[in-house]
A = this chain, B = another copy of it.
């Protein structure tokens, strides 16, 4: 017979109170910074029409692309390119169950929001010249079905994006880097422990174009391979640009792009030349000295990088914050100009004793074509994203988390008849600003109550038995101090004398406040 195993969906996870505390800490600190730069919070639905997330995704394809997608339970009209309902031969409106998709990032929904606001103007051909400015931040879960899930990776994770739509000026890209830096430092990362790598897609596009490799698809294919440099190494990148290779782990044959040897040489030399990143001015000078600098796209990209460098330098963001990395391309298809990626330089020791890095914790760039995909109107835009859960992982693995949240003061329950007294006591403590919980568990043994208090990080237990109730007192036990002193004081009575005291109920709140602020020694 078939049974039901209570379990989470594979690749999904519950978030514990401490994890929530850390996640919220990151969000609050980043939010302060995003707001200080003038962004406002927008939220969009978890579900969108699949076709609005950039392209139309039938079920099989969407799964292949990592999108959770399914048919809407209700039928709706199909529209033509003018936004009119399509009609069949009998003049009936054509109805369909459209595909819905769970958002796989926060950028595509932003493009939908912006395109939606332009849609009526678009129909009336009113969009001429430049589009309006719109800036927002957004955070929340995104969903990706990755068929092969690496350990420690999840199919639902949180991102925190900020974007400026209707912005041409690459000064905004420089500002994006400053925002990332300020946010990370507001969260607690020290300068020098992370690095923003900046590049421009136009540099790589220009280089390829100079070499005669043109066409968006071929360019993207090259960039996707270069993007794997850190993962697979230069030799394998060269192989994939050429005749392909056999994967060492899986033994699978990976098809190559079959570029000519000359092309491969050009690309690999370019990568090699910028392997070691010096100061930004030197890198820019070296970029300017390449023959490809004749190419107008390359030149445009270089000019933009120079502008970004000037702004960053003038505001004190030197190489300890941001470097220019001409070999960094970012895999995502939609970038069109400056791109940036933040890597953590901190290491941690994994369970096998190996020194490791968390890697990329933020990324972003300019994507002037995203709304165009949806609307056919060019809208310049730029933004970046903090990988909230990735950053939480970094803080945890490197021991940089804020102190765990303290639980509530717990009132131990001995006697049902005393429940009204417990409740009045709790209400009084809460009125004095002390979070207070009455132990309502069905398991009443003191052992169970103390185990619960321990698990929930309760700092103090309040014990009122029949004796205490008669005298109008309570015994308070400083659980936090008790844990600290357990290692220091061997004598049980001495320990108890420090940790436990009987106090008048009338001044319980005051005594508990004193206990909560006792120095840990």
Chain A positions within 8 Å of B, measured between CB atoms, are 1-10, 12-17, 19-21, 24, 35-49, 51-52, 56, 63, 68, 70-74, 76, 78-83, 86, 100, 102, 112-113, 115-116, 118-119, 129-133, 135-136, 141, 143, 145, 147, 156, 164, 166-169, 171-172, 175, 178, 310-311, 314-315, 374-375, 380, 405, 407-408, 410, 416, 419-420, 423-424, 427, 430, 435-443, 448, 452, 456
Contact = CB atoms under 8 A, between A and B. Distances in A.
A141 B424 contact: no
A30 to B, nearest CB: 14
A379 B63 CA distance: 38
Contacts of A45: 8-9, 12-14, 156
Given A38-B410, A423-B315, A1 B43 contact: no
A310 B420 CA distance: 9
28 contacts: A2-B80, A3-B80, A3-B82, A4-B52, A4-B374, A6-B115, A7-B119, A8-B48, A9-B45, A9-B72, A14-B43, A17-B40, A17-B136, A36-B435, A37-B437, A38-B407, A38-B435, A40-B405, A40-B407, A47-B156, A68-B73, A70-B70, A70-B71, A73-B145, A130-B443, A167-B442, A169-B440, A380-B442
A107 B78 CA distance: 37
A420 B519 CA distance: 49
B21 A42 contact: no
Given A12-B45, A20-B43, A37-B408, A1 B81 contact: yes
A130 B442 contact: yes
A16 B121 CA distance: 21
B133 A441 contact: yes
Contacts of A56: 4
Given A6-B52, A6-B119, 14 more contacts: A6-B116, A6-B374, A8-B116, A14-B43, A14-B44, A37-B437, A40-B456, A47-B102, A70-B70, A73-B147, A133-B448, A169-B419, A171-B438, A315-B424
A478 B171 CA distance: 26
B10 A74 contact: yes
Chain B CB within 10 A, most for which of A17, A40, A130, A131: A40
B315 A440 contact: no
Contacts of A145: 73-74
A1 B435 contact: no
A514 B452 CA distance: 51
Contact of A133 (B4, B141, B407, B439): B439
A145 B100 CA distance: 13
A345 to B, nearest CB: 25
Given A38-B437, A68-B47, A423-B315, A5 B119 contact: yes
B73 A5 contact: no
A156 to B, nearest CB: 5
A247 B172 CA distance: 59
A79 B2 contact: yes
A495 B4 CA distance: 72
B171 A10 contact: no
A445 to B, nearest CB: 10
A76 B37 contact: no
A521 to B, nearest CB: 28
B440 A167 contact: yes
Contacts of A315: 423-424, 427
B15 A168 contact: no
A440 B171 contact: yes
A436 B38 contact: yes
A3 B49 CA distance: 13
